[in-house]
Amino acid sequence: MSTENEGTEVPADPSAPSVPPAPPTPPAPTAPPTAPPADLPRSDQPTQVQPQVHDQAQPDAQAQSPAHAQAQAPAAGAHAPAAPAAAGAGGWPPPPPAVPAWGASVPPVPEPSAPRKRTGGLVAAVLVAALVAGGVGGGIGYWAAERGDDGISSTTVSAGDSPASFKRDPGTVAAVANKALPSVVTIQAKSGGSGGGGDSEGEGGTGTGFVYDKEGHIVTNNHVVASAAEGGTLSATFSNGKTYDAEVVGRAEGYDVAVLKLKKAPDGLAPLPLGDSDKVAVGDSTIAIGAPFGLSNTVTTGIISAKNRPVASGDGSGGNNSYMSALQTDASINPGNSGGPLLDASGAVIGINSAIQSTGNGFGQSQAGSIGLGFAIPVNQARNVAEQLIKTGKPVYPVIGATVNMTDKGEGATIAQEGAGGTPAITPNGPAAKAGLKPGDVITALGDRQIDSGPTLISEIWTHKSGDTIKLTYERDGKPTTTTVTLGERTGDN
């Protein structure tokens, strides 16, 4: 039973009879094309319906065309004699009586009802949209109320009162963000001195960090604070607007991780919980918090798009690049998000947002925007680096003791013929030398990870710790060979 048009009168012509005529054998007139009533909105005419509601209701509204409403009204036993009124108004011959559906009984002709107040087609269109948008319950309630005088016992369905308070369940984005935001800071870094003003202060930048412990340590990216690390100024602003001066505890350029410490840390700091990035799965939900383009306390969401992405902060050929075996996410990350936390659905940190892929071609574009390819340092690696920096102020890197070609891609990591400045490519008595590697060997796998280039090899090595023993696969003269290598270490960035 169709209920969408109930309660909407079709304007009656005073000259038309109130009861449809029922001639014994009515002729079958050839009706001219029926034009839509002038007061009903067409799809190409503006109406008062809100665009989004109209769009959502469009499939149902189309099903309720004037022809459909006239055809359904007699079968449904509607009160308004829509077809005769339309015929009288247009001066056309009266249409034949409506034929009931196959097997259905002929409904009795209702008694003439008192004329109702005239309503326009625009009101009808708005009402139908509201019913469709409001759900089936509202439409059924209205239908039952209209037929209360026909012996049907019912109660009109009405909207309930709004709840006095709305509680967001744990695990929702809003709940996770609300809990995490007080522990995320916006970092302002300025190069130069802090006392002279004017020319004594250089250029600055904005980044993000998060509270690591109750002593006031803040974890962020190295590239966020690098400009202020030598004689510059640093400050951290919390979501409540309070700002504190900070200083660098240690930086790891290769890992792109840095640790700051608030000079006068407030009481009651709440460190963000750290998750396990090794257990992250592709498709897991992610939440990124940061200050993109200086807009502090911005929350974006997405998923883990991929794992173990080898990413270099530059073109991979320089000596000061950063490398990571990154978590890839489609959560919106932009300049200013760097150093901020990437959270899982429970609110635990699984990565540090560090880099984005961009389509920018460099023609006058100093800052590129997000295209849904963001990369974060896995928190397991970042945790190890942060602990090293807090304890010693210097990073420790695992190494294999071999110089590899950083430009070739696709065939593995090729050990160079010689190192920088003419030094040996294989460190004497180093890990690679002890494993039997030689210049020209092509490393194709480290553990269970395939290696396609020098940057990929470094990114994968740095996910381990010095002293770890790992299976290594390489090719020599086209013949694959497997060996084991025990990683050595290098302290500091120089």
Catalytic hit among 183, 235, 256, 313: 256
- The residue with tokens 């509204």 is 61
Q: What's the token pair of residue 352?
A: 């540090």
Q: What is the DSSP string of 57-71?
A: HHHHHHHT-HHHHHH
CA distances from 307 to 311, 375, 385 (A): 11, 9, 20
Type of residue found at 107: P
Q: 272: burial class by Cβ within 10 Å (0-12, 13-18, 19+)?
A: buried
Q: 407: burial class by Cβ within 10 Å (0-12, 13-18, 19+)?
A: exposed
Q: What is the DSSP string of 108-165?
A: PPPPPPPPPPP--HHHHHHHHHHHHHH-HHHHHHHHHHHTGGGT-------PPPPPS-
Q: What's the token pair of residue 136?
A: 């089936």
256 catalytically annotated = yes
Q: How far apart are CA 459 and CA 454, in angstroms?
A: 9
Dmax of the chain from CA atoms? 114
Q: What is the DSSP string of 198-235?
A: GGGEEEEEEEEEEE-STT-EEEE-HHHHGGGTTT-EEE
Q: How far apart are CA 210 and CA 195, in angstroms?
A: 27
- The residue with tokens 């190192």 is 419
366 catalytically annotated = no
Catalytic hit among 338, 354, 453, 459: 338
Q: How far apart are CA 466 and CA 469, in angstroms?
A: 9
Catalytic hit among 223, 277, 344, 453: 223
162 catalytically annotated = no
Active site residues: 223, 256, 338
